[in-house]
Amino acid sequence: MMNDMTPVQTSLPNLRLIEPNPLRDAPITLSWFESKYGKETLLLMGNAEHEIGTPSLKSEIQTLEEFVNLREKNEQLTWMIQTENKVIGVAWIELVENHSVQPPSVHLMIGNKEYRGQGIGKATMLALIDYIKKNIETPTIYSRHLKHNVVVASMNRTLGFIDDGSSYIDENRLEWQNVKLAV
């Protein structure tokens, strides 16, 4: 079982991945989704319009507690993305198949829009890939992105991910592309 949640340093000096703390992080994650960019962020992550409800502190605490529970069940490793002592996003490694994506798979969300486009996503993905190489025996790392999310698609290509099959439409009529990276 991989329960070691030691902070992970990225290639950027002020950027690291830290263990989630529901009481510390819930007000921060709530602020992301209450912002004018909150709905846009959720849509870019692949949430269907009808799945997006009104965020609350209680629901954010529950989500973060679920991250801890998934780690304890050895199903997912989740870190909060922190820069300059400020939590700005979340990154995770799925250890079981989820949404038709093979494990281990890497994912992230920069919740605070002010920090997008600064190389933080790429540095975070590289840290996740390095973590897997050092801690999980696997020949391949997987991920997926919405087909129309050209920013994430470009980042994945830059990191060496290639398409894993054809794109597909899910039950919410969203088009996804699974990708894979040989390690």
Domain with residue 64: its CATH number is 3.40.630.30
Average pLDDT, the chain: 92
Using CA atoms, how far residue 23 sits from 28, 57, 67, in Å, is: 10, 9, 13
The pLDDT, as a whole number, for residue 1 is: 41
Residues 6+ apart with CB under 8 A from 122: 155, 158, 159
Domain contains 2: no
| Reported pTM | 0.91
Domain contains 82: yes
What's the distance, CA 174 to chain centroid? 18
Domain contains 159: yes
Domain contains 155: yes
The model's pLDDT over 38-92, given as tens digits with 9 standing for 90+, comes to: 887 887 778 788 888 888 999 999 999 999 999 999 999 999 999 999 999 999 9
Domain contains 173: yes
Query: Average pLDDT, stretch 3-11?
Result: 83
Q: Which residue type is seen at 25?
A: D
Total domains present in the chain: 1
Domain contains 1: no
Name the residue range of residue 122's domain. Answer: 8-182
Say if CB 48 and CB 161 are below 8 A apart. no
Domain contains 47: yes
